Amino acid sequence: MKSEKKLNSYYLYFVNVIKKNSFNDEEILRELKDKFPDIHGEFITEIGRHYEFKSIIIPIEDGICYAIPLQTPDEILLENNIIESMGERLINSEHKWVLPPFIENYNVVKLMETEHGIKAEKLLGSIYNPFYIARQLLGTYQKIPEFVSHILLINEAVESFFSKHTASSITLLLTIIEGISREYCENNNIHFDNIGSTDAFKAVIRNRKQVWRDKVLFQIYKVKKFLKLPKDYYDETFLRRIDEGMDLLISYENYGIDYLYKSNSEHPLNRHSILHGVNKEYYTPTNFYRLFSCLEVLAFSISLNPFYYSADDFDEYKNLGQKFIKTIHFSENNAEA
């Protein structure tokens, strides 16, 4: 609390006094030092990841600094012509989709520009193709302990989908996602309510948002300093618009709360209506892809690694991808027979 008051006093003086004058960087630091002679080692540098903004840095203890941006959040967004994030655009589109990680942004844009229905379903099938999923199973997911312990179930859900058993693949994925979330909380001493179906999901996202914000987004890597900013800069709408990682996490959180786990939601992919037998038309390829996207975001949420990993054994990866393709062809031939 004491440190927050001190940061707030620096911030208010900057906003109400210094910012109203046309000072250069050197003059800004001198004015601040004159008002607060107890500060030492202050400097001005760029912070942020996708969008950088100049900030006053004030060291307070080993590895931790205060950061006071020279622009307000609105000014930063305006300067960079940011109106909404990719995740906001996708959830507000007719697709109402979680922002997926590990795929190229042009595919996300292409999805938003594609009419919901058969065309979008074909596009998603080309994105989440058998070899993409094989790579994730044998590469990316193998780096995450909670995914490794569920890998056989994930593989079974995928096999079920490629075998045209879409209903069973979706219900299995729902339980896998919940199981991974619970296991991660238990492995990392993150408190959650064991009774409810959504609390583990919320606990994981709440924890990972804070870790990403404090230890990834707001860090000066060159000098290994973690930053504390005024609370105005912790607004989640602002954070998701300046950083893709925050956008991924908040997109998943909003999708889960508003659609996937909301008890009275009419969204076509809703856990409550599916597992309670109310929704009898949920078994569509589009819903499988939706849920697989959620599994992907959960992988990013736990690992906080935006990059995918290839399989260690290329032949194993190739064989698994070909096996999935044979399963698809076998199912299609049976359907025609």
Is position 229 within any domain? no
**Helical packing angle, 285-303 and 166-187, nearest 10°:** 10
Same structural domain for residues 39 and 97?
Answer: no
Is position 230 within any domain? no
pLDDT of residue 194: 76
**Helical packing angle, 199-212 and 166-187, nearest 10°:** 60
Q: Which residue has the tokens 């990680």?
A: 101
Same structural domain for residues 280 and 161?
Answer: yes
pLDDT of residue 62: 80
Same structural domain for residues 73 and 169?
Answer: no
Instruction: Report d(CA 147, CA 130) in Å as an integer.
Output: 19
Taking the model in full, what pTM does it have? 0.93
Q: Span 5-9, mean pLDDT?
A: 92
Same structural domain for residues 51 and 188?
Answer: no
Sheet holding 219-220, edge to edge: 43-47, 53-61, 64-69, 225-228, 219-220
Q: 110, 82, 106: which is closest to 239 by C-alpha? A: 82
Integer-rounded Cα Rg, in Å, for the chain is 23
Percent of the chain with pLDDT over 70: 98
pLDDT of residue 336: 65
Same structural domain for residues 142 and 21?
Answer: no
Q: Which residue has the tokens 């991808």?
A: 321
pLDDT of residue 337: 56
Say if CB 252 and CB 298 are below 8 A apart.
yes
163-213 residue pLDDT tens: 999 999 999 999 999 999 999 999 999 999 877 778 999 999 999 999 999
Q: Which residue has the tokens 């870790």?
A: 211
Q: How many CA atoms lie within 13 A of 327 on its CB side?
A: 20
Same structural domain for residues 91 and 67?
Answer: no
Same structural domain for residues 113 and 75?
Answer: no
Q: Mean pLDDT over all residues of the chain?
A: 93
Is position 269 within any domain? yes
Instruction: Report d(CA 213, CA 226) in Å as an integer.
Output: 10
- Above 60 in pLDDT, residue 13? yes
Q: List Cα–Cα distances, 302 to 71, 72, 164, 172, 182, in angstroms.
A: 32, 31, 30, 20, 12
Handedness of CA 232, 236, 237, 241 (dihedral sign): positive
Q: How many CB atoms lie within 10 A of CB 1?
A: 5
Instruction: Report d(CA 124, CA 116) in Å as an integer.
Output: 11
Q: List the beta bridge partners of residue 61.
A: 64
Same structural domain for residues 48 and 152?
Answer: no
Is position 223 within any domain? no
Is position 18 within any domain? yes
Same structural domain for residues 75 and 91?
Answer: no
- Above 70 in pLDDT, residue 135? yes
Q: List the beta bridge partners of residue 59.
A: 65
Higher per-residue confidence, 215 vs 276: 215
Structure tokens at 7: 């940061």
Instruction: Report d(CA 238, CA 217) in Å as an integer.
Output: 13
Q: 225, 291, 181: which is closest to 55 by C-alpha? A: 225
230-283 residue pLDDT tens: 999 999 999 999 999 999 999 999 999 888 888 777 778 878 778 877 877 889
Same structural domain for residues 322 and 280?
Answer: yes
Same structural domain for residues 71 and 132?
Answer: no
pLDDT of residue 206: 96
Say if CB 199 and CB 193 are below 8 A apart.
yes
Structure tokens at 52: 């950088």
Say if CB 215 and CB 208 are below 8 A apart.
no
Instruction: Report d(CA 330, CA 71) in Å as an integer.
Output: 60
pLDDT band at residue 222 under the 50/70/90 scheme:
confident
Q: Span 290-310, mean pLDDT?
A: 96
3-state per-residue secondary structure call for 202-249: HHHHHHHHHHHHHHHHCEECCCCEEEECCHHHHCHHHHHHHCHHHHHH
Same structural domain for residues 92 and 67?
Answer: no
Return the C-alpha torsion angle 279, 282, 288, 292, nearest 10.
-20
65-124 residue pLDDT tens: 999 999 999 999 999 999 999 999 999 998 889 999 999 999 999 999 999 899 999 999
Helices (H), 98-165: 105-113, 118-127, 130-138, 145-148, 151-162
**Total of domains in the chain:** 2
pLDDT of residue 77: 98
Domain boundaries, position 259: 86-218+236-336
Is position 323 within any domain? yes
Percent of the chain with pLDDT over 90: 80
pLDDT of residue 287: 92
pLDDT of residue 163: 97
What single-letter amino acid sits at 300? F
